[in-house]
Chain A
Amino acid sequence: MRHSAIFSFLLVLLLLPTWATAADLRGLIRKVEQQYMGLSSKAVMTMSVRAEHWERSLTMESWSLGRDHFLVRILAPAKEAGVATLKAERNVWNYLPKVDRVIKVPPSMMGGAWMGSHITNDDLVKANHIDEDYTFELIEEAPDLYRIACLPKPEAAVVWGKVVYEIVRPQEVPGRVTYFDEKMAPVREIVFDEVTRIDGRTLPLRMTVQPLDKPGEKTIIHYDSIDFDININTAFFSLRNLKS
């Protein structure tokens, strides 16, 4: 499950709830958290976005370290090559090569689309802290899946009213995640598929983000290649590296 980029954010946490069904929930989560610290990945992925008025495809290169460091840079199309996003801790910066400037995404724009997709800046920042911000409850346990409801802690500053994970057994990879707003209406669904065994790990290579209020739109992220445990440290995730 340890792998790259956005996946690591979502996926890592997806698995946390499965562990959390055990008795000592908090202890387990901490253990899992420790387990991923310091582990790294590098990936090349293709993001295809279909919106009401346009359709586009971006090829991106990404690096991640643990759950709090993430750097992604657009390789193609040429017009946007070099546009990059850095996430370090809970901050997000974008680099714009055309004007050669770095912009820090302000809190008010965290709900905005990331690179024009159906993933928000908040997803990048908060998704992998779900074990800290939510409480978990096993709502279904079938031979081939677990269904787990995550409800935000009262004091947590989160955007969702509820998140429901379907975890595929026995591989323990995510199958489908449904996001609910504060009124408990489902607003977004992420489906994971193309489960493949890579580098000794089993993981889905494709992730489809479907906003439920816009059936004609979706974002698909496909991993073209992934390497794990690369030689990288936190110094790599710097504003200087964001630019080059």
Chain B
Amino acid sequence: MLLSLAFRNLWRNGRRTLLTLSAMVVSLALLILALSIFSGMLRDILASATEQYHGHLVISRDDYQETHDLYTTMTEAHLPLAKIAASNPVQGLSPRLRGYGLVSHADSSYPAELLGIRPDAESGVTSLQRQLIAGTALAADDDHGAVLGASLARRLGVKPGDELVFVTQAADGSIGNDLLTVRGIFKTGDSGHDNGLLLVPLGWLQQTLALPGQVHEVALAITDPMTASASANQLRPLLPDGIHIVDWGTLLPEMREAIASFDVSRLIFSVILYFATGLGVLNTLFMSVMERTREFGILMAIGMRPRSIRLLVLLESALLGLLGASLGVMGGIALCAVMSDTGIDLSAWITPISYAGGTLPPRLRAVLELRNLLDPTLMLLFTTLLAGFFPARRAARLQPVAAIRMD
């Protein structure tokens, strides 16, 4: 009975209700879109930070991730890689060996980092091999090819097909040196990698560094990078003593902070928007309660309890909120659908931005996550109920006689 009464009350001043409703719908839809664009940026920058180099999770021994010490290796055959690969969230797994040394072509030599990989395994974890601007990726059976960063290639003056000499101190103290052939050149937008990283076959690097069968780390890709920490906990029991697994948040603390700051911006953004919306709802409900002072007085005089009056007004605001939320969610989903298909390409105006170890591509793209719908919707309902609370309390406290006498 109260519910239908509340519903009918809403439409007694249809224009006002519709105006308030449209403010709610538009603010909710736009907020959903804005949060989804935030999510899109976040995904892009996180993907660039993890999928361009680190992977989502990394397995290594002792303090390797801090020291990058040549001797902190693991015997690949002793790692339970099959079990890890079969684990639920794991999508890709790449054993790697890392070496530092001098890369030389003709008269130019530069210090560089060599990442020994198995090309097919690495492609399941990082996108380096797909960001080529020249040449080809490393083939699975390549035994002395190299794919290197664009700036390094330019400084060395090499193009695909050219020869490189690599010299370093091998693990046995000897002078490790061998020839490489440039296969491809990648460009990530991350100056560190473009300037000094080469991908080389794992077997070749193991031989050159005199570390047969050894790897420094195993990089993993998982289904959802945002759950990396939980996945790390899940995989940890599989690992032998002394072997650790860390997530990208540990490897890239700046990125973790960047994401935390994104979360704070989301919150601030939502609160500002809903403060305005909430005032609008408050205004509507207050006006309608004031107008109906006499009516409430009569209702109370004929025996309606103050509690029911309060409930009635709260129901009105709840109905308004539900209506606004459902329409707003639909609008938000529609806007996101448009923005996720095409997005907005900004590359004509801005270049990629490097930030916190990741690279933000010049585009706006919406990624609809459940929390982008849920958070703003719940906040809208809460705001409307809060805005309904004060008029409801006022209505419930009316004295019947005084209220009836009001004009």
Contact = CB atoms under 8 A, between A and B. Distances in A.
Interface of A: 49, 51-56, 79-80, 83, 94, 96, 98-99, 101, 103-106, 108-109, 112-113, 115-116
Contacts of A80: 174-175
5 contacts: A53-B173, A54-B172, A103-B104, A104-B104, A109-B109
A144 to B, nearest CB: 37
Given A49-B173, A98-B177, A99-B179, 14 more contacts: A52-B71, A54-B171, A56-B174, A79-B174, A80-B174, A94-B167, A96-B165, A99-B165, A101-B104, A106-B102, A106-B109, A108-B110, A109-B102, A112-B102
Contacts of A99: 165, 177-179
A105 B168 CA distance: 12
A53 B171 contact: yes
Contacts of B171: 53-54
A101 B179 CA distance: 9
Contact of B111 (A55, A106, A115): A106
B366 to A, nearest CB: 44
A105 B167 CA distance: 10
Contacts of B109: 103-106, 109
B72 to A, nearest CB: 11
A216 B266 CA distance: 55
Contact of A113 (B107, B111, B169): B169
Contacts of B172: 54, 56
A116 B173 contact: yes
Interface in B116-172: 165, 167, 169, 171-172
Nearest to B104: A103
**Chain B, interface size: which category?**
10 to 19
Contact of A101 (B71, B165, B169): B165
A103 B110 contact: no
Given A94-B167, A99-B165, A106 B173 contact: no
Across chains A and B, which 8 residue pairs bring their CB atoms closest together, nearest first? A54-B173, A96-B177, A103-B104, A106-B109, A101-B165, A56-B173, A99-B179, A116-B173
A51 B173 contact: yes
Contact of B174 (A94, A105, A113, A116): A116
A236 B91 CA distance: 60
A98 B102 contact: no
B102 to A, nearest CB: 6
Contact of B175 (A54, A96, A104, A109): A96
Interface string B69-111: 0010000000000000000000000000000001010011111
Contact of A109 (B107, B108, B111, B174): B111
Nearest to B210: A54
- Which residue of A51, A99, A113 has the most chain B CB atoms within 10 A of its CB atom? A99
Contacts of A52: 71
B111 A116 contact: no
Contacts of A83: 175
Contact of A96 (B108, B110, B167): B167
A90 to B, nearest CB: 16
A117 to B, nearest CB: 9
B221 to A, nearest CB: 32
Contacts of B110: 106, 108
Contacts of A51: 173
A115 B175 contact: yes
Nearest to A98: B177
B210 to A, nearest CB: 9
B169 to A, nearest CB: 5
Nearest to A49: B173
Contacts of B169: 113, 116
Contact of A53 (B71, B111, B167, B175): B71
B32 to A, nearest CB: 51
Contacts of A109: 102, 109, 111
A202 to B, nearest CB: 33
A73 to B, nearest CB: 13
Contacts of A106: 102, 108-111
Contacts of A98: 177-178
A237 B395 CA distance: 103
B67 to A, nearest CB: 13
A103 B102 contact: yes
A94 B167 CA distance: 10
Contacts of A55: 173
A89 to B, nearest CB: 16
A104 B167 contact: no
A103 B167 contact: yes
Contacts of A113: 169
Contacts of A96: 165, 167, 175, 177
Contacts of B175: 80, 83, 96, 115-116
- Which residue of B71, B175, B179 has the most chain A CB atoms within 10 A of its CB atom? B175
Interface in B201-241: none
Interface string B171-206: 111110111000000000000000000000000000
B49 to A, nearest CB: 26
Contacts of B107: 104
